[in-house]
Amino acid sequence: MAKMNLLQAINNALILAMTENEKVMVFGEDVGHFGGVFRATSNLQEKFGKARCFNTPLTEQGIMGFANGLASQGSVPVAEIQFGDYIFPAFDQIVNETAKWRYRSGGQFSVGTLTIRTPYGGGIAGGLYHSQSPEAYFAHTPGLKIVVPRNPYQAKGLLLASIRDDNPVLFMEPKRLYRASVGEVPEEDYELPLGKADIVREGSDISLLAWGAQMEIMEKAAELADKAGISCEIIDLRSILPWDVETVCQSVVKTGRLLISHEAPQTGGFASEIAATVQERCFLNLESPIARVCGLDTPYPLAHEKEYMPDHLKVFEAIKRTVNY
Amino acid sequence: MKDRNHLSDVSLTHKVSVIDKGLVDIPMLQILQPDGTPHADAQLPELDQDAVLKIYRTMRFIRVLDERMVAAQRQGRISFYLASTGEEAASVASAAALEPQDMIMSQYREQGALAYRGYSTEAFMNQMFSNEKDPNKGRQMPIHYGDKALNFMTISSPLGTQIPQASGYAYGQKMAGQPAVTICYFGEGAASEGDFHAGLNMAAVLHCPVIFFCRNNGYAISTPAEEQFAGDGIASRGLGYGIKTIRVDGNDAFAVYAATKQAREIALAENCPVLIEAMSYRLAAHSTSDDPTGYRSKDEEARWQAKDPIQRLGNWLLSKGWLDEEQDGKDVEQMRQDVLNELKRVEKVPVCAIDDIIEDVYDTPPWHLKEQLDELKQHISQYPDAYPKTSGRL
């Protein structure tokens, strides 16, 4: 075990993956000698050479197109998009190409070795274009997997599993926690399963569901709820697509109440998908409407960031409303 | 750390210096004149009789296939088709200059390259009829071919997306130490997509052994080339990216062959991209969903029919005594018969069972796809007459 922050855990996972398999290649804007604008790829070029860790020209559609070609050839690309906000120029390559590659060729060709890493989320005074959480756009895309870790231990285990998974994975890193989240991380190789939620804490009155940086908010809200005599079960979804319906529904059957929270805007956010599915499956167990605590349906603002964010106070109020329904 | 000086190659001037496209001349390589006579100073490629005949017969076959399948679409037997009439030399002769281990990434009007690699009539038909023998399992529209064994990447409809992909594929070939290149075909319209810019720039900067092969056929559906770009075609752009560039007469099989052969040698030896712009004309309609009489004249088409690439190479073969006109006529008739026989046979092959609808989305179907399939099968069994293609095989 070693103390690592989230960036160090990611860097550590990349080193293990590149050491284990010489086909693993890391590329994107500024990831080379400089080591990335967040330093997630520090020292990779020094360790593995410029051919395996390199800068690309500044073109997101180019990075993803290149990554698709490289993956279909049999290499194992780990492509970085500098901010999730800038993934949209690559939307066509990801949605029309990456996600459909295996299906459209009848399984002859695949880009299953591909992993896309991108920092996401707010709370860093990033304004409109350094704060977005674009997971719901991609959750509407059959063929992709979407994974979001909440701390360094999760980040390393989930990233190693993503790189080795035989499906393209969009790996979204909560950048607010890059340096803020520090924890014990095994130095050896390990994987955490994709598609499986993680029950962070058991409770009996309400299930709280979130992912990534929002997990911290849920824990803070649950502490307030504790003091108010409300017992919260906290679930980290970890994988947005495919998501772990079983764990979530089991929890809701037990508690009878569900609150889902994410930073992204509410309308069309992934909470809608979860709420609809849980409502279908747990109709007779639900004792109150499913609550959503999300970002507003506005672009992500700078000066009003604090007001925009679905913080622990907003979550706490929603917990009380739901339990007292 | 190394110091950078991005001005090191810049010369000085002391008057405002305007560089106009007229200052850079990019000539078009032509070996055979439109009537099939070689230019006196042109060097013919080193191809023996069998090799030239293979190119010629593949072009002939594609013309026959295209004619037959356009008719089949008109009869409602297949949903869609897209012919390559007038551009057969561009795809066939370029494929002839490659090695089997080279990857082909194409747009959709390059069935000639696939035929040259040995894709069978039956295989073409299976894809077009979307039947259970179609390697795509009937999921894509007709003409979206792909064959792993022939190193022909499955085609997709979004234009230009294969251009940066080809750069990445070629990078992977280089890293794996393979003596192979990737060729990437696209039209002059697709070259207006952002992916063209991204793909060429990345290939140049990252030293990828890829041949970018642009078919400049004058039209993107109804849009003429002068509404597509204002520069000197596509070739002039290659130079801006630092990419070695060749412009060829796309209706001259020998010019296409010679250019591609050389491009391959350069790409492999120097680990760099090469751009080829093949000047041609889309004699076909854009697709079976298009009628070109709405945007171009019969006179224009007639002028280009006189430059037919098949006729041109045929004339040269006749002049060499390598082709017998009467036998050639019989061969073409036989091709027509074979294509028709295969069509009649293949159109009776059923489509895949419904279970295939959820396969290959992922490596294995996740829970929600399995649930959706179960519900679908239950529904089909409830209304079997409404789903005749699959209800008998649940």
Q: Print pLDDT tens along chain A (325 aa).
A: 999 999 999 999 999 999 999 999 999 999 999 999 999 999 999 999 999 999 999 999 999 999 999 999 999 999 999 999 999 999 999 999 999 999 999 999 999 999 999 999 999 999 999 999 999 999 999 999 999 999 999 999 999 999 999 999 999 999 999 999 999 999 999 999 999 999 999 999 999 999 999 999 999 999 999 999 999 999 999 999 999 999 999 999 999 999 999 999 999 999 999 999 999 999 999 999 999 999 999 999 999 999 999 999 999 999 999 999 9
Q: How far apart are CA B225 and CA A217, in angstroms?
A: 56
* DSSP state letter for B350: P
Kindly report the nearest CA distance between residue A177 and chain B, in angstroms.
30
Picking from A158, A159, A81, the residue whose alpha carbon sits closest to that of residue A118 is: A81
How many CB atoms lie under 10 A from the CB of residue A129? 12
Instruction: State whether A68 and B205 contact (CB < 8 Å).
Output: no
Instruction: State whether B144 and A72 contact (CB < 8 Å).
Output: no
Instruction: State whether B172 and A69 contact (CB < 8 Å).
Output: yes
Which chain B residues are within 8 Å of A109, Cβ to Cβ? 146, 148, 153-154
Residues in CB range of B18: below 8 A, 6 or more apart = none
Which chain A residues are within 8 Å of B135, Cβ to Cβ? 105-106, 108
Nearest CA in chain A to B105: A69
pLDDT in tens, B136-191: 999 999 999 999 999 999 999 999 999 999 999 999 999 999 999 999 999 999 99
Angle of helix B367-382 relative to helix A245-255, nearest 10 degrees, comes to 90
HSE toward the beta carbon, residue A72, CA cutoff 13 A: 35
* H/E stretch holding B55: helix B49-74
Which chain A residues are within 8 Å of B201, Cβ to Cβ? 57, 59, 62
Domains, chain B, with CATH or none: 28-346 (3.40.50.970), 354-393 (no CATH)
Which chain A residues are within 8 Å of B146, Cβ to Cβ? 105-106, 108-109
Instruction: State whether A242 and B368 contact (CB < 8 Å).
Output: yes
Instruction: State whether B198 and A25 contact (CB < 8 Å).
Output: no
Stretch B14-29: mean pLDDT: 90
The model carries a pTM of: 0.97
**A130, A173, A216, A312: which one is catalytic?**
A130
Active site residue A33: no
Picking from B158, B205, B183, the residue whose alpha carbon sits closest to that of residue A90 is: B158
pLDDT in tens, B209-248: 999 999 999 999 999 999 999 999 999 999 999 999 999 9
Residues in CB range of A28: below 8 A, 6 or more apart = A36, A41, A55, A56, A63, A79, A80, A81, A82, A117
Nearest CA in chain B to A67: B168
Active site residue A130: yes
Residues in CB range of A299: below 8 A, 6 or more apart = A128
Q: What is the pLDDT of residue B8?
A: 79
Nearest CA in chain B to A55: B206
Kindly report the nearest CA distance between residue A22 and chain B, in angstroms.
10
Picking from B107, B284, B285, the residue whose alpha carbon sits closest to that of residue B213 is: B107
Kindly report the nearest CA distance between residue B184 and chain A, in angstroms.
11
Share of chain B above pLDDT 70, in %: 100
Stretch B312-321: mean pLDDT: 98
Contacts of A32-37 with C-beta under 8 Å, sequence gap 24+, read A36/A80, A37/A82
Q: What is the pLDDT of residue A15?
A: 98
